[in-house]
């Protein structure tokens, strides 16, 4: 049994391909075959054009820090072990993701380029995080 105490994603039928890809160390997003938009988080229908014809595509994993904060006092006990960098990363393909940037807090800047990495937080679950590129 893992001693990991932080919340874990519970994949749904819609989102399972995303988490399965992460487990394979691959960042995959849905792409709408009708309007070509990349979509994050996973949806049943394109939030732009309502098409339900969405395809999973591997993406570059490159992005930029759109904004971030250093959480020095977390709202929940499970994140209170140490300060962490919570960030919004804007992917090269367009969508933004909530994630963590693994770097010393003072090294993180808005606009800095980052690259995806995969954090196997438990044997079953891999989170999609980023490091300075």
Partner 1 sequence: MSLKGKAAVSGIAELKPWKEAPPDVTPLKLMGQLMAEALADAGLEKQELDGFLVGMPFADPGMIYPASAAEVLGINPRMLNVVDIGGATPAGMVWRAAAAIDAGMCNAVLCIVADLNRLGDQRVPVVSVQREFEAPYGNIGANCGYAMIAQRHMYEYGTKPEQMAKVAVDQRTNALKNPLATFNDKPLTIQDVLNSRMIVDPLHIFEIVSPCSGGSAVIVASPELAKKSKNPPIWLLGAGEYSNHASITYAPSLTNSPIKPAADLAFRMAGVERKDIDLVCPYDCYTITVLVTLEDAGFCKKGQGGPFAMEHNLTYAGDFPCNTHGGQLSFGQPGLGGGMSHVTEAVRQLMGRGGERQVKDAAIAYVNGNGGIMSEQVSLILERRS
Q: Rounded distance, CA 1 to CA 123, Å? A: 9
Q: Contacting partner 1 (CB under 8 A), which of 12, 25, 33, 60?
A: 12
Residue 54 β-bridge partners: 32
Task: Considering only residues 30 through 89, tell me which ones interact with partner 1, judged by CB under 8 A.
Answer: 41, 66-77, 79, 84, 86-88
Closest to partner 1 by CB, 30 vs 100, is: 100
Residue 82 Cβ, how far from partner 1 at the closest point, in Å? 11
- Asked if 112 is part of the footprint of partner 1 (rule: CB under 8 A), the reply reads no
Residues at the contact surface with partner 1, assessed by CB under 8 A: 6-12, 15, 41, 66-77, 79, 84, 86-88, 96-100, 105, 110-111, 121, 127, 129
């Amino acid at each position: 049994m893992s001693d990991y105490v932080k919340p874990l994603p519970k994949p749904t039928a819609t989102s399972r391909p995303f988490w399965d890809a992460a487990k394979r160390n691959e960042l995959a997003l849905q792409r709408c075959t009708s309007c070509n938009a990349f979509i994050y988080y996973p949806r049943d229908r394109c939030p732009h054009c309502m098409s339900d014809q969405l395809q999973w595509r591997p993406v570059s994993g490159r992005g930029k820090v759109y904004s971030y904060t250093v959480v020095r006092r977390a709202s929940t006990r499970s994140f209170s072990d140490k300060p962490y960098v919570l960030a919004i990363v804007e992917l090269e393909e367009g969508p933004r993701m909530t994630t963590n940037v693994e770097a010393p807090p003072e090294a993180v800047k808005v606009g800095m380029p980052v690259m995806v990495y995969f954090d196997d937080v438990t044997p079953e679950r891999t989170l999609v995080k980023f490091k300075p590129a």
